[in-house]
Chain A
């Protein structure tokens, strides 16, 4: 009975939206299956987590107040008085961190599998852009609870932006909406976080997914197997299985480790000891801290910032630089580069949290 109604609805919509072309394409879509195809799931997981962020973010918007007099208090209220507020907020905060972790895994798995090679260069570029956008989401969102940690982490982050050569101080003022972290900053970050970044991210995600759907999944160089499984519904069911398990993880972590409210930000208080930005920024932050004040005659900080910008540019353009992969040849040089970058990020992040005197 239900199936008849379903079919009738589908026919009604198909006559008006003309699905048939789309559904034919969808039915034909296949996904390669080989020993590395496990990594294919991380894109879908990222999308799923983005969906969770959008849903919980919209729910939080209902009770959050973006003013320095009410932001912290509204979070306090959400955590203690709104029904299931603790859950919505903890999911949002935890998923943000999990999402960025998954994005890094997704990025490195596509890197090592050389999925960026022709014709998928634009997929890589939009993907890297998405990583930057989501780190911006993380940075802007972190300030919104207006607690001690977020206030000082934002100050530290903006100071680093301010040391970019030439445009540094203009950039810092643009980010903060003034010379220091104030109401203007909170309004600005809120604007970024709920309007500008979501629109930008949705647009770039749209392009990214369009490319993935059009070009299909990339098969790693040298994989001989030709086994393919249909995307709908087989691969999707496997995807969904991963999503279900991630949901369980998020649920457990939110009940046993709810996100803290923290102390309300006090601009007149001295900076707490050991203040650092969120973990996904720490590899850059610690590099800045470890580099000596001067190397030859160039300021150490400047060198690091230029290095990071150069490194980012290199990473962005990898599809065009890896000529061997473009010719479907193995390119161990880039694999080694990737390993070095991954190791660097991991080691510096670990150092930030383990070495006491930094």
Chain B
């Protein structure tokens, strides 16, 4: 049996090190870790009873704010809260039951349509479902 030459040992060793260096990221990639939902198609916006009638809650939907409104009659509506004028965040105004943008006085009704002010287009509306205790908001279509 020939003595293994230095080169062979060197080769084998460096190859092993390289394989390990490549295997490490792959293994860490495959192992599951806790991460936030990949799809932003639907989000649990609030719990049942969390929002009083004629009040609203702003929550994160995808990468932008959205508003969940509980109307005075108890109906739940969800819309995008990004004003279509200059992207300020709108807020719910209880005494007029409208969504109001404090930046330049833009006003939307609860179907998202522009009532007054500079916004050029309506707010996007979302689907609302109640599943047990959770109020789930999802994109339409």
A interface vs B, CB < 8 Å?
A: 3, 59, 62-63, 65, 67, 69-70, 73-74, 77, 81-85, 87-88
Contacts and interface: CB of A to CB of B under 8 A. Distances in A.
B25 A84 contact: yes
A63 B38 contact: yes
B6 interface: no
Contact of B41 (A62, A69, A83): A69
Nearest to B12: A2
B17 to A, nearest CB: 13
A74 B38 contact: yes
Contacts of B31: 83
Contacts of B35: 77, 81-82
Given A3-B1, A69-B139, A83 B29 contact: yes
Contacts of A3: 1
B75 interface: no
Given A3-B1, A69-B139, A88 B39 contact: no
Interface residues of B, number: 16
Interface of B is mostly: loop
Contacts of A84: 25-26, 28-29
A70 B39 contact: yes
B87 to A, nearest CB: 15
21 contacts: A3-B1, A59-B26, A65-B38, A65-B39, A69-B39, A69-B41, A69-B139, A70-B38, A70-B41, A73-B38, A73-B62, A77-B35, A77-B36, A81-B36, A82-B29, A83-B33, A84-B26, A87-B25, A88-B25, A88-B26, A88-B29
A81 B28 CA distance: 12
A203 to B, nearest CB: 27
B30 A62 contact: yes
A175 B95 CA distance: 54
Contacts of B1: 3
Contacts of A81: 35-36
Centre residue among B29, B31, B62 by max chain A CB count within 10 A: B29
A63 B33 CA distance: 12
Chief secondary structure at chain A's binding surface: loop
A59 B29 CA distance: 8
A325 B1 CA distance: 50
Nearest to A84: B25
Given A3-B1, A83-B33, A73 B28 contact: no
Specify which of A67, A83, A88 lies most central, judged by the most chain B CB atoms within 10 Å of its CB: A83
Pick the 4 closest A-B CB pairs, nearest first. Answer: A70-B39, A84-B25, A69-B41, A83-B28
Interface in B68-89: none
A85 B40 contact: no
Given A73-B39, A85-B29, 12 more contacts: A59-B30, A62-B30, A65-B38, A70-B38, A73-B40, A73-B62, A74-B38, A82-B33, A83-B25, A87-B25, A87-B29, A88-B25
A329 B15 CA distance: 45
Contact of B39 (A59, A74, A82, A87): A74
A3 B3 CA distance: 12
Nearest to B14: A244
A59 B33 CA distance: 15
Contacts of A65: 38-39
Nearest to A237: B11
Nearest to B62: A73
Interface in B107-131: none
B61 to A, nearest CB: 12
A87 B25 CA distance: 9
Interface string B6-34: 00000000000000000001101111010
A232 B43 CA distance: 58
Contacts of B30: 59, 62
Nearest to A82: B29
